[in-house]
Each structure stands twice: as C-alpha cells, then as structure tokens.
C-alpha cells in the first residue's frame, strides 16, 4: 500500500513537473484571460453599462461563473498558483542535472564522445607535449584560460567560457516566481483607493474600491492645485502641492504631477484628476450706490460671506447655482455643471428695514435688483478646484521590480551568452607511434556561428604547430608529416 502511495506521489510529481502539463495550463491561462478581455469586467465597468450590455439572465450566469471578474476569480488565481507550482516543480526536477553539468564540468572527452562530437578536427603532431603547448597558446590568444587535465591514464586540455549560461534558464524561472510572489503579496496586503481634496482641505480617509474607506495614520493636505494648458486648450500638466500631516505637524511636502507621485511610509499618492468642485472660491463684484451718487466699491465674497457696504447696508452671498432656470417665479438648479451660473445676494438695509433679493444675472420675476440700495456688477467668478489622487499601497512591488530586472538579465544570458567548450586530446597510435591532436568543441546555442569560431581555433593551432611563416599551403602540408 505504502509503495502504491509512493508510486502515486511519484506519478503526480512527474505530471506536475512535465512540460506538457505546463503547456496545457498556459493554454488555459491564455484562453481564460482572453475571455476576460472580451466579457466586460465588473471592476472596470459601471454597473448600468453592464446591465445595458447583457440581458439580466445572461448577466446572472456570467456573474455566477465569475466571468465578469475573471482576474480576481478564485479559479483564475488558483490556475496562476498551479502554473507557479508547475514552474517550481519543473525547475526542481531538472535542476540537479543542470547543476551537475554546471558544478562538475565534463573536462575529458572519452573515446565514444570523441567519435560522436561535432565539430571536431584531428591534426598531425610530432609529440604530445608540443601539440598541447600549441593548443594552449592558441586558446590563450582567443582569450580562454586552458586547463591541463591530467588523469592516471590520459591527459588533455579543457577550456570553456560562460558556464553560467547553462543555469540562466533557472534565473528566468526564479525571477518569474519572484514577480508572482510580489503580486501575491500585493494582492493580500496591498490596497488601492481614491482621495479627493479641495484646495486647503486635509483628509486621511481614502475611498477603497467597492465602497469602503480606509483611515490613514496620517493626513494629507492639499495646499494648492492647478492645471496648465497647451495653446489649443488641452491639458498639459496637472499639479498639486501636498503636505503630509502627522501628529499635527507637516512632516513632508511635495508638489506632485502626473508620473511623479508622493511617497510616504509605503503609501503613494498619484495625481490622477483635477477639476472644478462646483463651489465658489471667490465672487468679485463692483457695487455702485443706486441713484448714481457715492463711490464704487469692489468686494469679494465667498459663499455665506457678509460684507458691509456702508454704515447701513450689508450684503450676503446667499446662494450659488451653477446652472439655473427660472420657472413660475422660482429659480431652480438645473444641473451641477457650470453652464449657466446664477448668484443670489441678499442686501440688508437698516434704513429701509428690509432685505432685498439681488440676483445676478438680473431676473425681473424674482428679484428686486432695481429697488436695492446698491447695483452690482459681477467682474469675476473664481471657482474652487479639487485634486483627485490615486492612493496605493503595494508592499510587494519590490519583488516585482527585482524580478523584472532579473528576468532581463536572465533572458540576456539565455539567448545571448553562449557556453563554449573546447577539448584538446593528444592521441597516439601504439602500433605506428604516430600522434595526432584531437580538437573538439561544443556550444549550447548558435551552433553555426560556433563552427566558424571552431575553425578559427583550428587554424590558430595549426599556425602554432608550424611557427615558420607560411609561404604556401602545399609547403605547409609537406612539412607537417615530416616534422
């Protein structure tokens, strides 16, 4: 029974570690994520848009299966986890072999290896030592560090370069796991939200997606925010001057712009939007006494401000409608967009003992502008602005970024760093006493380019064997056997 279990475990392991399983899982990931880009996803879509796109019945099914939020569904995360497991298993399964290959390089080619090896070349030599010395010199001139391999019954030369290339694929896999690890950490401990601040406002409540709020241990104050435009009116830059307030003190200040966030104790604040908050910052007016005599006065009012115009008269900014309509002697707010604004001022005169409703612009049905002791001329309306901040906490992102850097290095090694090996073995025929120098080489990729390098090495060795300046090819051929 226990043996059976072990067999089962072994079989499971083989399945997980096999490349087929990996590919099947990857195909599943591909299909599911493709579906996730075609079906509208809940996190990125407004609820009413979802409802108009699908019939309620279909929507219920999609929701039940989880296809409206594929990338956060348990089965998708489970699949990603399985893929990671597969990568780990496959790496563990293959690593010992590669490690043996890496840690105990094959330095002396035996006869069967020599027979099968490609490329290879045999050169005639006078004696073993001169052949080896020539090969060593040639390898040195190519920048290798040849090593003499001396065993009891045989000897030769081994030279190699970039052995690390054999392990590069594990660097890539490990960095993928590091990236996964980072995203999982973020998925569990990270959060993202939104914070909207009016100029001058301080807040520590971040709206998290899905409706909840999170209270930060410190607060953010927006000192100023603004927008710069191109000549054609499209926005060029949004900026906000933010201050971090902790225990009543400003601990950090920064002007953030899009692409340049503020970071404080692991929480990042990104500029994401900017606009009118629908509130009046300052309403600038010129007040002229009715009847023409008396001097003009410039006043600035915020909502509900009261300013005295003279000893008897005060004016209060009572109401502001961004978009108004008049109907049956009443003023209504039509919308919240700043399209057709109206301001309601209340002028109180002690002398007359009554209040006058002044509307700007003038509306005869509802207002008594002409009766008021002052006439008002609006000069400017300064609206208040809000700055919209994305707030995020991603403790795992360092795993992601180091994984990304590592994967770049790993891929560079995988594709462009070649493990090159050369073996040189002198072979003497015991019967004839003639000796030859066997040269072989191998590269783990880009073999056609390697063959050229190999041929170059062989040429160099030939030159070392015949230090006389070559005059003609035939002469050289003649000297080698006679040497």
Partner 1 sequence: MARAKAEPQQPNTGMTLIVLVGLAIAFLLFMAFLNVVKSGNLLNETNLLFATLIFYSGAGALYLGFGVTGTESYVKFASLATWLGLLANTAAIAHRWYESGHVPFSSVYEMLLSFVWTLAVLTLVAEKKYGVKVIGTVTMPVAIVGVVLMQLLRTEVHPLVPALQSTWLHVHVALAMLAYAACALSFALAMMFLIQDNTKTETFLAVTSASTLAIYASVVLTRFEKWGGLSLVAWNPEQKSEVFLSRGVRLFVTVPDLGWLMTLTLLVVASPLVFYGLARWKRNDSFLTLANRAVFLSILLQVMAVVMFILRASDGRYPSLDTDGLFPTSLAASPFILSGLVGGVFISLLYLLLLWRRPDLARLLPSADNLDRITYKTICLAFPLLTLMIASGAYWANQTWGSYWSWDPKETWAAITWLVYAGYLHMRVTRGWRGRRAAYFAIIGFAVVMFTFFGVTYLLPGLHAYA
What is the contact surface with partner 1 in residues (CB under 8 A)? 19, 22-23, 26-27, 29-30, 33-34, 36-38, 41, 44, 70-71, 183, 192, 230, 232, 234-238, 257-261, 268, 270-272, 390-392, 394, 397, 400-401, 404, 407-408, 411-412, 415, 448
- Rounded to the nearest whole angstrom, what is the least distance from the CB of residue 134 to partner 1 in the complex? 33
- Of 192 and 297, which CB lies nearer to partner 1 in the complex structure? 192
Helix (H, G, I), strand (E, B) or coil at 414: helix
Residue from 194, 185, 201 nearest 270 by CA: 194
Residue (9 or 449) nearer to partner 1, CB: 449
φ and ψ at 409, to 5 degrees? Answer: -60, -45
How far apart CA 173 and CA 115 sit, in angstroms, is: 35
Pick between residue 352 and residue 411 the one whose CB is nearest to partner 1.
411
- From the list 444, 469, 453, the residue with the least C-alpha distance to 162 is 444
Comparing CB distances to partner 1, the nearer of 39 and 372 is 39
Of 403 and 426, which has the nearer Cβ to partner 1?
Answer: 403
Residue 76 C-beta: closest distance to partner 1, Å: 10
- The residue among 39 and 345 lying less far from partner 1, judged by its C-beta, is 39
Q: Which is nearer to partner 1, 260 or 339 (CB)?
A: 260
For partner 1, the closer CB: 361 or 408: 408
DSSP letter for each residue of 204-235: EEEEETTS-EEEEEEEEEEEEEEEEE-TTS-E
Q: Please, which residue, 244 or 287, has the CB nearer to partner 1? A: 244
Q: Where are the beta strands (DSSP E) in 82-143?
A: 120-125
CB of 404 to partner 1, least distance (A): 4
Considering the complex, state which of residue 122 and residue 272 has its C-beta at the smaller distance from partner 1: 272
Query: In a 10 Å sphere around its CB, with 0-12 CB exposed, 13-18 middle and 19+ buried, how is residue 276 labelled?
Result: middle
CB of 227 to partner 1, least distance (A): 9
Q: Which is nearer to partner 1, 106 or 191 (CB)?
A: 191
How far apart are alpha carbons 219 and 203 in whole angstroms?
A: 5
How far apart, in whole angstroms, are the C-alpha atoms of residue 13 and residue 23?
16
Q: How far is the CB of 185 from partner 1 (least distance, A)?
A: 13
Distance CA 197, CA 269 (A): 12
Task: Tell me phi and psi for residue 450, to 5 degrees.
Answer: -65, -35
By C-alpha distance, which of 374, 382, 407, 357 is closest to 288?
A: 374
CB of 46 to partner 1, least distance (A): 11
Give the Å distances, CA to CA, from 287 to 37, 298, 314, 374. 60, 6, 11, 6
Quote the CA–CA distance of 114 and 75 in Å, as a whole number.
Answer: 52
To the nearest whole angstrom, how small is the minimum distance from the Cβ of residue 453 to partner 1? Answer: 17
Query: Which tokens go with 106?
Result: 């094959």
φ/ψ of 346, rounded to 5, equals: -115, 115
| Cβ 75 to partner 1 shortest distance, Å | 15
Q: How far is the CB of 269 from partner 1 (least distance, A)?
A: 8
State the nearest-atom distance from the C-beta of 415 to partner 1, in Å.
5
CA angle 480, 481, 483 (to 5 degrees): 65
Instruction: Report the alpha-carbon distance of residue 72 to residue 48 in Å, rounded.
Output: 21
Q: How far is the CB of 186 from partner 1 (least distance, A)?
A: 9
3-state secondary structure of 39: coil
Least CB distance to partner 1 at residue 26 (A): 5
Q: Which is nearer to partner 1, 236 or 456 (CB)?
A: 236
Question: How near is the Cβ of 253 to partner 1 at its closest, in Å?
Answer: 20
Long-range pairs for 28-31: beta carbons < 8 A, 24 or more residues apart:
28/79, 29/79, 29/80, 29/83
User: Of 190 and 294, which has the nearer Cβ to partner 1?
Assistant: 190
What distance separates the 2 farthest-apart alpha carbons in the chain?
138
What phi, psi does 475 have (nearest 5°)?
A: -60, -45
Contact 114, 438 (CB under 8 A): yes
């Amino acid at each position: 029974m226990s043996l059976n279990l072990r067999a089962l475990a072994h079989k499971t392991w083989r399945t997980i570690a096999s490349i087929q399983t990996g590919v099947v899982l990857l195909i599943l990931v591909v299909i599911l994520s493709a579906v996730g880009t075609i079906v509208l996803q809940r996190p990125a879509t407004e609820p009413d848009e979802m409802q108009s796109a699908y019939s309620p019945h279909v929507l219920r099914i999609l929701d039940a299966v989880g296809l409206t939020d594929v990338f956060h569904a348990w089965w998708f995360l489970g699949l990603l986890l399985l893929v990671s497991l597969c990568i780990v298993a496959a790496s563990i399964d293959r690593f010992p072999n590669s490690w043996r290959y890496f840690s105990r390089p094959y330095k002396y080619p035996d006869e069967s290896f020599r027979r099968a090896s490609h490329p290879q070349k045999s050169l005639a030599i006078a004696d073993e030592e001169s052949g080896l010395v020539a090969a060593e010199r040639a390898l040195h001139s190519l920048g290798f560090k040849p090593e003499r391999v001396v065993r009891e019954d045989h000897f030769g030369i081994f030279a190699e370069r970039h052995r690390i290339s054999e392990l590069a694929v594990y660097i890539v896999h490990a960095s993928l796991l590091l990236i996964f690890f980072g995203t999982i950490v973020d998925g569990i401990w990270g959060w993202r939200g939104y914070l909207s601040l009016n100029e001058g406002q301080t807040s520590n409540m971040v709206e998290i997606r899905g409706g909840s709020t999170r209270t930060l241990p410190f607060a953010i104050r927006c000192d100023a925010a603004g927008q710069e435009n191109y000549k054609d009116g499209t926005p060029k830059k949004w900026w906000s001057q933010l201050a971090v307030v902790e225990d009543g003190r400003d601990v950090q200040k920064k002007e953030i712009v899009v692409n340049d966030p503020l970071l404080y104790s692991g929480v990042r604040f990104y500029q994401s939007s900017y606009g009118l908050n629908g509130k009046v910052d300052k309403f600038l007016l010129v007040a002229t006494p009715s009847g023409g005599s008396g001097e003009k006065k410039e006043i600035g009012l915020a909502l509900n401000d009261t300013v005295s115009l003279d000893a008897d008269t005060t004016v209060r900014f009572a109401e502001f409608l961004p978009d108004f309509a008049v109907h049956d002697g009443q003023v209504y707010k039509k919308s919240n967009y700043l399209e057709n604004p109206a301001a309601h001022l209340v002028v109180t005169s002690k002398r007359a003992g009554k209040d006058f409703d002044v509307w700007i612009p003038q509306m005869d049905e509802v207002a008594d502008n002409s009766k008021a002791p002052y006439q008002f001329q609006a000069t400017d309306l300064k609206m208040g602005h809000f700055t919209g901040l994305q707030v995020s906490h991603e403790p795992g992102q360092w795993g992601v970024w180091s994984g990304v850097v590592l994967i770049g290095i790993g891929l560079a090694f995988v594709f462009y760093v070649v493990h090159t090996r050369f073996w040189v073995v002198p072979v003497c025929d015991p019967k004839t006493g003639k000796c030859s120098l066997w040269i072989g080489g191998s590269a783990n990729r880009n073999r056609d380019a390697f063959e050229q390098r190999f041929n170059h090495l062989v040429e160099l060795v030939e030159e070392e064997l015949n230090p006389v300046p070559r005059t003609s090819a035939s002469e050289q051929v003649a000297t080698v056997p006679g040497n």
